[in-house]
Chains A and B, each alone.
Chain A
C-alpha cells in the first residue's frame, strides 16, 4: 500500500487513526503493530513472516549482548541481516554479472531463479542494524518486549521508504509517548502529511511523467539535447519532491501517532558543495553511513590516502544501497569523486567564489549525477550526458502546467538561499502554531488534500521512486 493511493488515504488512515485514538493507551502499541503488519502484508504478505522471523532472531541475539560472547553474537546478527539484504537485493545482480563473465570466457552459465525484491528491505535492514549496534554499544538498553522491538522495525510510516529512524532516536517514544499524543502533534502531523502528499502528487508525479518520456524514449538516439536537459531537470526536481514528500508524509504520520522522526531533507539544492549536499539530502542515510560505516572505518582519525579511500568506499556502498545496478555504483563513485576533490582543494576554491555561484555549480553537479542515477544503463547515461553538451538542437514544447510546476519546484527548492527563510520554515513546520498560523494551515490542508485525492483518482500514474531501494 502506498501513501498516495486512495485506499490508504480514504480507508486505512481514517480507520487506523480513529481506532488508535479510541483504544486505551496501553493498547496503542498493539494496534500500531497490527496496523503496520497489515500495511506491510498488503504489499508483501509472505515476506512479512521472514521479516518477523528475522526480528525475532535480532531480539534473541540482542539478549546475549551482556554476555562474554557479545562480539561474536553481534557479528552473527550483522551477517544474518546483511546476508538477508544481500540475498534479496543483490543476488540477481551478482548472478547476472557472474553469468556475463562466464559467458565471456566461454563457460556454462549458472541456473538461477530471480528473487523478488521485498519492499523497503534497504530501509528496515539499516534500522535493524542500528538497533543491534546501539544496544551493543550500550547507547540504549534493549527493548524488553518483542512486540515493542517488532513495532520499532515495522512501524508503518517509515517502514518502506524511510526516514531511517535509528533506535536511539525513538527508543523513549516506543515505551512512553503519552504526552506526545496531543492536539498539537495531531494537527501538525496532519499538516506535514498533506504537504508531503502535495509535493508527491502535485509536483513530483507531474514532473515524473515528463522525465519518463525522455528517459524511457523508444529511440533515444533521436532525443535532442534540449529534451535531455528538460528530462534531467524534471527528474532532478521529481526525485527531490517525491522522496522528500514521502519523508514529510512519514514524519507527519509518525507525529500524528506521537512519534518524532528525524528530518530527512533540509533544502538540499541550496548546498554550496557536495559535502554540504550530503548533509542536507537523505540525512538519515548519511548519518547512518557516517556512524555505522565511515567512523568504524577510521573516520576523520585517519589521514591522507586512507581517508579518501574510506570516503569513496562509503559512497560506493551508498550508491549500491540505492539499487543493484552499475548505474547506482557509478553514481556513488561520481559523488565520492567530488567529495574527495572538495577535501583535496575544491572547498578552498569555493571559499573564494560568491556563494550563489557555488550553489549553482553544486546543483549542476547533482543534476548530472541524477542523469546517471535515472538512466537504465551506463551507456545510456553517457550517451545522454554527451548529447547534453554537443550542441543545442531544439527541445520540447513547454506548456503552462510545466512552467507552473517547475516554478513552484524551483521556488520551494531554492527559497532557502534567502537569509532567514530556513528559520521561518522551521518555525512554520515545527513550532506550536498560534491562531493565525493554525487558520492558514487549515486553509492549506483544505486546498491541497482534495486536489491530491482528485489527482490520484484522475490519473493512473502514481509510482513512488524510492520503493525501488
Chain B
C-alpha cells in the first residue's frame, strides 16, 4: 500500500500546485462567475511594503480572487449549499417550485425604502411638468411601471418571507400620486394581475426577476400603440396576438439563476413568448426611454429591432445611454431636449424595486438643459 499512499499524497500536492499553473496560464477554460465584484488592489513587493505588512495583507486578499479554478471551487461550494441546505446568495430568495426572487423586489413590496408621500408628490409634479412640455411640443409621454414578480406571485415564497403587501410602499404611493394627474401610466403590475387567472406563474421565468418575453412584448406593444395614437399607421406597430411556451431562454430569464453561480444547471420551467404581428406600413419608431433594465430587456426581442428606430435613445437610470449594440455613453455628453424633440415618444419606465429613485432625476436634468438652451 506504500505506493498508493505515495501516489495519492503527491497527487494531491500536484493538484494543489495546478491551481498556481491555472492562475498563471489558464490551461483550462472556465466560465467566469456571474455578478459584480471588485478585484482587491495589490502593491508591488518592496522592503517598505513587506515590513509594514501592507504587501502581505493586500496580496492575501488579492490571491483569493486570482487563484486558479476559483470559479469552479465557488460553484462547487454554492452547489453544495444549494442542494443540501437550499441556500443561495444573499440577494436571491429561493422559493418553492424552483422560483427565484430578487430580495429588493420582495423588499419594496413589503415597504422597504418607502419614500414620504410629499417627496413622491413633488417628483410626480415634476413629471407632470415634463409631460406638459413634451405634449405641447407634440411628443407623447408615458410612464410605465414594470411588473414585480414578488407582488405578482408571493405565494411561492417560503414561510419566513411575508406574503402580504406592507403599506406604505412606493408602488402604491406613486400610483395614488399619478392618479391625480393626466399622465399616461401603464401599470404592468395590474396588467399582469388581471391576466393571472389565465396565465398563472408563466408570466415570469422561474429563474429570473424580470418579466417573461411575453411581458416584454406587451410593453413594446403598449409603447408603440401610444406613440401611434395621433397618426394611426404612421409608425410600424407590433401587436401581441398570442403567446406560446418554449423551453428556450432569454439572457434575462436566467439573471437570478446565473447569480447563484452553481456547478450544475438550475432547473428551468418553460418560458412564455409572445406571438407578435409586425405592421407592414409606417416607419420605425424613435423611442426615447429613460429607466431601469426592464426597458433594456426589450433589446432581447427580435421584433424590437424591426419596429424601433436606431435613432432612438435609452438612458439607463438617467446615467448612461445604452445603444442597440449595448455600448454606453454617459448622458452628460448628450442633450435630452434635443433628443426628445426628435423622438416619437418619451417613456420613463421603472419597476417597483427602483421607484425609490424614480424618475431618476430626469425631469430636473431636462429642464436644466432647456433653461441652458433658452439662454443666449
Contacts and interface: CB of A to CB of B under 8 A. Distances in A.
A183 interface: yes
15 contacts: A5-B60, A5-B64, A14-B17, A17-B13, A41-B50, A187-B5, A400-B85, A400-B86, A401-B84, A404-B85, A438-B5, A442-B8, A451-B76, A457-B64, A457-B70
B81 interface: yes
Nearest to B76: A454
A187 to B, nearest CB: 4
Residue among A15, A42, A44, A454 with the highest chain B CB neighbour number at 10 A: A454
B366 interface: no
Interface string A38-59: 0001111110000000000000
B8 A1 contact: no
A454 B56 contact: no
Contact of B73 (A186, A435, A450): A450
B67 A6 contact: yes
A5 B66 CA distance: 13
Contacts of A397: 160
B6 interface: yes
Contacts of B52: 45
B374 interface: no
Interface in A426-455: 433-435, 438, 442, 445, 449-451, 453-455
B8 A401 contact: no
Interface in A182-209: 183-184, 186-187, 190
A416 B336 CA distance: 75
Residue among A5, A183, A397 with the highest chain B CB neighbour number at 10 A: A183
A464 to B, nearest CB: 14
B148 to A, nearest CB: 25
Contact of B74 (A11, A187, A457): A457
A-B pairs with lowest CB-CB distance, top 6: A454-B77, A458-B77, A187-B5, A401-B85, A14-B17, A454-B76
A411 interface: no
Nearest to A1: B60
A400 B6 contact: no
A302 interface: no
Given A401-B85, A401-B87, A457 B67 contact: yes
Interface string B353-373: 000000000000000000000
Interface string B31-67: 0000000000000000000111100100110011001
B16 interface: yes
Nearest to B4: A438
Contact of B84 (A190, A400, A449, A458): A400
Nearest to A434: B1
Nearest to B59: A7
A11 B5 contact: no
A184 B73 contact: no
Contacts of A183: 2, 5-6, 9
Contacts of B13: 13-14, 17-18
Contacts of A456: 64
A217 interface: no
A15 B16 CA distance: 9
B80 interface: yes
Residue among B52, B81, B86, B87 with the highest chain A CB neighbour number at 10 A: B81
B87 A451 contact: no
B12 interface: yes
A139 interface: no
A451 B67 CA distance: 16
Contacts of A404: 84-85
Contacts of B80: 451, 454
A51 B77 CA distance: 39
A397 B158 CA distance: 13
A397 B161 CA distance: 12
B20 interface: yes
A399 interface: yes
A11 B24 CA distance: 12
B78 interface: yes
Contact of A449 (B2, B12, B60, B86): B12
Contacts of B73: 450, 453-454, 457-458
A438 B63 contact: no
A9 B16 contact: yes
A10 interface: yes
Contacts of A401: 81, 84-85, 87
Interface string B220-264: 000000000000000000000000000000000000000000000
Contacts of B59: 7
Contacts of A454: 73-78, 80
A223 B8 CA distance: 49
A186 to B, nearest CB: 5
A163 to B, nearest CB: 23
B8 to A, nearest CB: 6
B115 interface: no
Nearest to A459: B77
A401 B52 CA distance: 40
Given A10-B19, A438-B1, A190 B12 contact: yes
